[in-house]
Amino acid sequence: MRLAAICFEGELRTGLVAGEDVLVLAAAAPSPDDVVRGGAEAREAVRAAARGASRHPVESLDLLAPLRRFNRDVLCTGWNYWDHFDESKGKREGQDPEERPTHPTFFTKGPDTVIGPRDDIAWDPGLSAKWDYEAEVALVIGRDGRSIPEERALDHVAGYLVANDVSQRDLQRAHGGQWLKGKSIDRTMPLGPWLTTADEVPDPHDLTITLDLNGQRLQQASTRQTAFSFACLIAELSRGMTLRAGDVLLTGTPSGIGNAREPQIFLTEGDLLVTRVEGLGELRNRVARYPLT
């Protein structure tokens, strides 16, 4: 199923996406967060609530970020497409690793970054001069586990979403080479447009990711190109570290980022970003001036 969070008649509601329409469920129905943590019982409650629910065109509804209850920071993966790793060589301002990593690179970003699939991306030129885009697949854990074997890792996934890990490259470089600060600015990470449960995604390692900026295609790749599979990411991250139902993991961006281009492309007020993942939907976000400092 595809589960949306909606502001409907002044209330937070769950929507069950059916093609171009959405069944708007009663206020008591489980939220996408509830389904992530509640498993089969919560999914059955959604199906029951869908019987007799009102149907509305998806474009007429106010879609919110599907996940709104976070256990911790959003977990993230860096350098998970070798073409992206290679395109930035010599452009990391002295922070280049000597060799390709032999294990996944992880970092986190604060949950206050998360916005909805149609919300404006906050932009404050007084905070940063280098706002960049990164189209990604996000997965959400649906079952607790520690030291999860790679061959069983995808069994712990509740579903998938589209994300854009908007980053501030100058802040990213300015704090000792770690990425937390340059990835954690409030109201900058679109997530959605809904949660697609894992049973709707036959092969998460065969999805096409695209990013269009003002109508120009700047990123296009397949998840087949990842350096480390989604299953490997879960196995490596969970070694000695418990992953909890509701944890969100971004799986990396492919090549085409603005910082690596010649000339460089950075986001500015009024820009329109359209981030798509095959089978998971699209985000459509405008960059808008917002005071952050």
Distance from chain centroid for Cα 63 = 15
Whether pLDDT at 94 is above 60: no
> What is the total count of domains within the chain?
2
Q: What is the pLDDT of residues 103-158, one digit of tens each?
A: 999 999 999 999 999 999 999 999 999 999 999 999 999 999 999 999 999 999 99
Structural Rg of the chain based on CA atoms: 18
The answer to the question of residue 69 being in a domain is no
The answer to the question of residue 176 being in a domain is yes
Query: Domain check: are 7 and 100 in the same one?
Result: no
The pLDDT value recorded for residue 245 is 98
Q: Which residue has the tokens 């919560």?
A: 42
With cut-offs at 50, 70 and 90, classify the pLDDT of residue 175: confident
If we measure between CA atoms, which residue out of 100, 132, 114 comes closest to residue 66?
114
First-residue to last-residue Cα distance in the chain:
40
Domain boundary among 64, 87, 118: 64
Q: Which residue has the tokens 């604060």?
A: 110
Domain boundary among 33, 64, 95: 64
DSSP 226: B
Query: Domain check: are 221 and 121 in the same one?
Result: yes
Q: What is the pLDDT of residues 20-37, one digit of tens each?
A: 999 999 999 999 999 999
Query: Domain check: are 50 and 90 in the same one?
Result: no
The pLDDT value recorded for residue 240 is 98
Query: Domain check: are 203 and 281 in the same one?
Result: yes
Q: Which residue has the tokens 């999860």?
A: 148
pTM: 0.96
The answer to the question of residue 219 being in a domain is yes
Q: What is the pLDDT of residues 261-278, one digit of tens each?
A: 999 999 999 999 999 999
The answer to the question of residue 55 being in a domain is yes
Specify whether the CB–CB gap between 191 and 197 falls below 8 A: no
Query: Domain check: are 57 and 93 in the same one?
Result: no
Specify whether the CB–CB gap between 293 and 124 falls below 8 A: yes
In whole angstroms, give the CA distance from residue 95 to residue 102.
17
DSSP 247: -
Query: Domain check: are 124 and 97 in the same one?
Result: yes
Domain that holds residue 8: 2-64
If we measure between CA atoms, which residue out of 121, 263, 293, 290 comes closest to residue 191?
121
Query: Domain check: are 185 and 159 in the same one?
Result: yes
Is residue 230 classed as helix, strand or coil in its secondary structure?
helix
Is residue 275 classed as helix, strand or coil in its secondary structure?
strand
Query: Domain check: are 225 and 90 in the same one?
Result: yes
Domain boundary among 41, 64, 87: 64
Q: Is the dihedral of CA 219, 224, 227, 233 positive or negative?
A: positive
Task: Tell me the CATH number at 261.
Answer: 3.90.850.10
Query: Domain check: are 120 and 41 in the same one?
Result: no
Query: Domain check: are 121 and 96 in the same one?
Result: yes
With cut-offs at 50, 70 and 90, classify the pLDDT of residue 172: confident
With cut-offs at 50, 70 and 90, classify the pLDDT of residue 95: low
The answer to the question of residue 138 being in a domain is yes
Whether pLDDT at 98 is above 80: no
Query: Domain check: are 53 and 121 in the same one?
Result: no
Specify whether the CB–CB gap between 194 and 63 falls below 8 A: yes
